Amino acid sequence: MNLIYIPLIVSIVDILFVFLWIRLLKKLSSGEEGLQKIADAIREGARAFLKREFKVMIIVFLLAAIALGILNKSVLPSIVLLIGAFISSLAGYVGMMVSTLANIKTTVSAQKSFPESFKTAIWGGQVMGFLVVGLGLLGVIILWLAFQNVDLLINYALGASLVALFMRVGGGIFTKSADVGADLVGKLEKGIPEDDPRNPAVIADQVGDNVGDIAGMGADLFESYVSTIIAAMVIGTAVFGAKGMIAPLFLAGIGIFSSLLGTFFVRVSKSALQEEFSKQTESVRKAMGRGVLISNLLMVAGSYFLITSLFGSIGLFWALLFGLLAGWLIGKTSEYFSSEKRRPTLEIAEAGNSGASNVIIEGLIVGMKSTVIPVLAVGATIVLAYYFAGLYGIALASLGILGVLGINLSTDCYGPIADNAAGIAEMGGLGKEIRQRVEALDAVGNSTAAIGKGFAIGSAALAALAWLVTYAQKINVNSINILEPKLLAALFIGAMLPFIFSALAMKGVSRGALEVVKEVRRQFREVAGLIEGTAKADYRTCVDLATKRAIKGMLVPGILVVLTPILVGLILGKEAVAGALVGALSSGFLLALFMANSGAAWDNAKKYIEAGNLGGKGSDAHKAAVVGDTVGDPFKDTAGPSLNILIKLISVVALISLALFA
């Protein structure tokens, strides 16, 4: 039996588990009619967003496929690109639709018990997490079996990258346009609480959680996952031949198998049955931590056995292990700097007593400080991986960080499901005990979101690094003269790109939020009885406004990323493109960490005050923290995560377009 069929079977088993979780979710009760109407509104809003995005995406994919066909004088690269785009879109669509099913099921399950509610939410997260890795690996293997051409697979990564551009950047603009718009009018102007059904933007806000943190995060990590596998295959083939090509597929298979086994240990303890908020949150944290730890240990053991058996050397194993440890360290750093229990975030909250300006300053300080450990971790990983295993070691280090992506992404996607469940419970006017249960789930979701964002940034940086190594290999360059004028110029152009990209993405949020604010104000002004709660808000209009702005706002940043490496290559040469890639990766990685962590810290500082500290809701400290949170929202959920796409997509485009300027 051909060895490649082993990871193929693992990916199929993974998808069968996804079907099982979907079936289990569908069997659960959806509750009373009032709750179902709220959930239906969220689901329809999510479907409307995807439908409109897919219409634009199809046009872009067809144009890209035509361009690839002309460039390569072959239809095969175009077919592979379209397959990559389709599989990534399928994962995003199914994952998002299931998350909008799981949210109400989680709320209703909370009426039975806290463990039942947690089990429902984690099932929903596991659907997206394991769909990404299962479909991603399945697509790579089937295309390899069909065409037996590693270089052709780069087009599969390009298809995934284009989907990620739409889902992550467009989704980020949508979610923060709705969120900022809802907060500015609802909290600051009208003084009504979060997730209040009187707020016309409340459903758009709930939809945004799914659009940005389920579909967007999933597409981002799908891109990173297939990118690292394919880059490792390309480099491995050049260095080790067939063994180097098949090893990344086996390592991905081991990661999926380890993650699946880890899910059986994600169970809350009996202490969660006690109706005490702190014990409930602690039991969930321990359950998730246990599952992730066991998955990682199994991954390490399996990788050691595979690498030593296949290559007879331990050097490649060390490289993979360094990548795994770097990913863990980056996630933990993000958690530390953004946790409401840690000093950095508490200092932001305390700064609220002296006004909004101090809140902003403290948040910027936290974001800047948070870049130190991740940069040192990635730097050490690059040096050590190369020392022990050369260029292939760097590729395997990139794969190491994504080894157990299945369970890591599951815990991350659990967060927005729990957030939605808490929102539905609030809007549905459920009892205090039930609301406390879903709020406990949501509190843990905030922590997993911070870790997940750090993890996504770290994985994107190492994936982009793997593509950079692949590019250098393709142009036959082992070392570059950094003082060469053209390369220096390109390096600065690349370093500038993340800043202009972030500016354009945040401008999209600013314009979108303005339109949502105008609409929410109009409804409060013109709809009689809305503020009193006797009339119903028009939620659909806010969803529609945010969707239109999201699509408009992401087109220019997308065009910029695609054109930059092509123009640099045509004007300054292929070596200069490597300089642009280094510049974009360096500044993009730092800027993404800075924005994601400062934004999360502002958010959690606000939540710390809302929990009754420093005067609680309505205090001067709270009002200042809300301002910080509205600044931080586009930082952590739009611009920061969008840079993950930039640093990967620019590298893939450079590789694909190499024929133009080689």
CA–CA gap between residue 244 and residue 410 (Å, rounded): 29
Tracing tokens 């570059």 back to the chain, one arrives at: 480
Assigned token pair, 89? 């879109």
What 3-state class would DSSP assign to 197? coil
> How would residue 543 be classed by pLDDT, with cut points 50, 70 and 90?
confident
Structure tokens at 186: 């609802």
Residue 203 confidence (pLDDT) above 90 = no
| Span 577-602, pLDDT tens digits | 999 999 999 999 999 999 999 999 99
**Residue 614 and residue 623: Cα distance in Å, rounded?**
11
Distances (CA, A) of 320 to 208, 235, 242, 471: 35, 15, 19, 21
Confidence of residue 444 (pLDDT cuts 50, 70, 90): confident
Question: Which of 45-49, 67-71, 206-210, 581-585 has the largest mean confidence?
Answer: 581-585
Residue 499 token pair: 């800043």
Contact 77, 68 (CB under 8 A): yes
Token duo for residue 575: 């070596």
What are the pLDDT digits (tens) for 153-200?
999 999 999 999 999 898 889 888 888 888 777 777 777 777 777 888
Helix/strand/coil (H, E, C) string of 582-623?
HHHHHHHHHHHHHHHHHHHHHHHHHHHHHCCCCCCCCCHHHH
Residue 407 CA: distances (Å) to CA of 130, 260, 299, 371, 636: 7, 7, 12, 25, 22
| pLDDT-derived band at 538, boundaries 50, 70, 90 | confident
Least confident of 5-19, 79-93, 532-546: 532-546
The pLDDT, as a whole number, for residue 1 is 47
The answer to whether residues 164 and 156 touch, using CB atoms and an 8 Å cutoff, is no
Q: What SS3 state is found at 148?
A: coil
Tell if the pTM clears 0.85, that is, is over it: yes
Convert the pLDDT of each residue in 275-305 to its tens digit. Answer: 677 788 888 889 999 999 999 999 999 999 9
> Residues 383, 302: contact at Cβ < 8 Å?
no
C-alpha 477/C-alpha 662 separation (Å) is 12
What's the mean per-residue pLDDT of the chain? 90
Q: Which residues contact 522 (CB under 8 A, 6 or more apart)?
A: none
Q: How far apart are CA 295 and CA 331, in angstroms?
A: 16
In 475-615, alpha helices (H): 485-526, 539-572, 574-610
Report the C-alpha gap between 392 and 466 in whole angstroms: 9
- The per-residue pLDDT for 92 is 92
* Rounded CA separation 234/469 (Å): 10
Q: Are 230 and 200 in contact (CB under 8 A)?
A: no
Residue 494 has pLDDT above 50, yes or no: yes
Asked if 218 contacts 132 with a C-beta cutoff of 8 angstroms, the reply is yes
Mean pLDDT of the region 97-126: 92
pLDDT tens digit string along 314-350?
Answer: 999 999 999 999 988 998 898 899 888 889 999 999 9
What's the pLDDT score for residue 315? Answer: 93
Which position has the higher pLDDT, 371 or 30?
A: 371
pLDDT of residue 662: 66
Query: Around Cβ 480, how many Cβ atoms within 10 Å?
Result: 16
Question: 273 pLDDT band (50/70/90 cuts)?
Answer: low
Mean pLDDT calculated for residue range 34-58? 88
What pLDDT was estimated at residue 271?
59
Closest CA to 89 of 63, 55, 42, 123: 55
In the prediction, which pLDDT does 248 show? 96
Please count the other Cβ atoms lying within 10 Å of the Cβ belonging to residue 264.
9
